[in-house]
Each structure stands twice: as structure tokens, then as C-alpha cells.
């Protein structure tokens, strides 16, 4: 006589491997998650440089201006013309002054597309200078040289 099978209604699935794997995945995502508010835009293809190694710490109170290859500026996610940059910088300047800081101490990060015109980058720098900013960071993508 064949042995009677155990109760088919209670199938015990061992959940341990799945939970282990899930927790490992969560740990992985927690480690690779980036909470920094780095302004990166897919419309900008930064030029490559072997010397553009990531900075050790975040730039304090940066103002990021991104220049597209069409000569437009992306400021705080908004696409504006070169001529409108001055108005936005005035606003930034007044915020800095209200916070008891000088615009000379603030850094303007210029993320310009590799195909954009150098003259447009210089125009941005000139507008910033006229508004009292004097520290600039020209951003480039790190070229691993492979």
C-alpha cells in the first residue's frame, strides 16, 4: 500500500533565501543611492577631461548655469535665454546678501555642452562678473582614458 502523501493544503515554502536576497538588494540600493542635489541634465553633454576628477566635498552654495548647444541656459530646470541670466542672477545675489554673504564668495558652476560656443560661455562669465560673481567652476566629465 503506498504511503499516504502529507496534507496537500499546507505547503511550507522556505522564505529565508528570498528575504536574504531582498535585504541584500535593499542594502545595495541604499549604498548606491545618491542624496546629493547635483544638478545634472541629460540635455548637456559635458566635454571630457582626464583632470576632471570628482571634487572631495560639495561646493558651498553653488549657482549652477547649464549651457545647451543651442545657446540656451538651463537654470533651476528652466530653459532661459542668455539675456535673461542677469535677472536670475540678481535674484540669487539678493538671496545671498539677505543671508549675510557676498556674491564674491559664491561659486558659479558652468556646465556647458561640449558643442556649445565658447563665446556663449564667455558671455555667461561676463554677465556673472557684472553681477559681482568672480568664482567660477567649469565642469567637465571625468575621462577615464580607456
Partner 1 sequence: MARKRSQLSDKIDINMTPMIDVVFQLMSFFMCTLKIVSPEGDFDIRMPLGRAAGAAVEDQMVPPIRLSLSAAADGSLGGISMNGNPVGDFRELQQKVLSLVGDGRGPGSLAEKTEVELDCGYDLRYENVVKAITAVSGSVQDGQIVELIKKIKFTPPKAPR
What does the binding site for partner 1 look like in residue numbers (CB under 8 A)?
15, 19, 22-23, 25-26, 29-30, 32-34, 36, 38, 40, 46-55, 59, 67, 104, 109, 112-119, 121-123, 125-126, 129-130, 132, 134-142, 145
Nearer to partner 1, 2 or 49 (CB): 49
Nearer to partner 1, 94 or 130 (CB): 130
**Shortest spacing between CB 22 and partner 1, in angstroms:** 5
Residue 133: CB atoms within 10 A of its CB come to 22
Q: Which residue(s) pair with 111 in the sheet?
A: 66
Report the b/e string of 82-120 with b at 16+ CB within 10 A: eeebeebbeebbeebeeeeeebeebbbbbbbbeebeeeb
Q: Measured at the alpha carbon of residue 94, what is the angle toward residues 63 and 118, in degrees to the nearest 5? A: 35
| C-beta contacts of 69-73 below 8 A and 24+ residues apart | 69/45, 69/113, 69/114, 69/115, 69/116, 71/116, 71/117, 71/120, 73/124
**Shortest spacing between CB 4 and partner 1, in angstroms:** 19
**Shortest spacing between CB 103 and partner 1, in angstroms:** 11
Q: What distance in Å separates the CA atoms of residue 116 and residue 45, rounded to the nearest whole number?
A: 10
Nearer to partner 1, 43 or 126 (CB): 126
Nearer to partner 1, 1 or 30 (CB): 30
**Shortest spacing between CB 111 and partner 1, in angstroms:** 8
**Shortest spacing between CB 66 and partner 1, in angstroms:** 12
Nearer to partner 1, 95 or 109 (CB): 109
Amino acid at each position: 500500500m503506498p504511503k499516504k502523501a502529507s496534507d496537500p493544503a499546507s505547503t511550507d515554502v522556505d522564505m529565508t533565501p528570498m528575504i536574504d536576497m531582498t535585504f541584500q538588494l535593499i542594502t545595495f540600493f541604499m549604498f548606491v543611492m545618491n542624496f546629493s542635489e547635483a544638478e545634472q541634465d541629460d540635455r548637456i553633454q559635458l566635454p571630457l577631461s582626464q583632470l576632471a576628477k570628482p571634487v572631495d566635498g560639495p561646493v558651498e552654495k553653488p549657482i549652477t548655469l547649464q549651457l545647451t548647444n543651442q545657446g540656451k541656459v538651463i537654470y533651476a530646470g528652466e530653459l532661459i535665454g542668455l539675456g535673461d541670466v542677469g535677472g536670475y542672477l540678481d535674484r540669487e545675489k539678493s538671496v545671498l546678501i539677505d543671508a549675510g554673504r557676498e556674491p564674491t564668495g559664491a561659486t558659479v558652476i558652468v556646465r556647458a555642452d561640449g558643442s556649445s560656443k565658447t563665446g556663449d560661455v564667455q558671455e555667461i562669465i561676463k554677465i556673472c562678473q557684472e553681477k559681482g560673481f568672480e568664482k567660477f567652476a567649469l565642469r567637465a566629465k571625468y575621462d577615464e582614458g580607456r
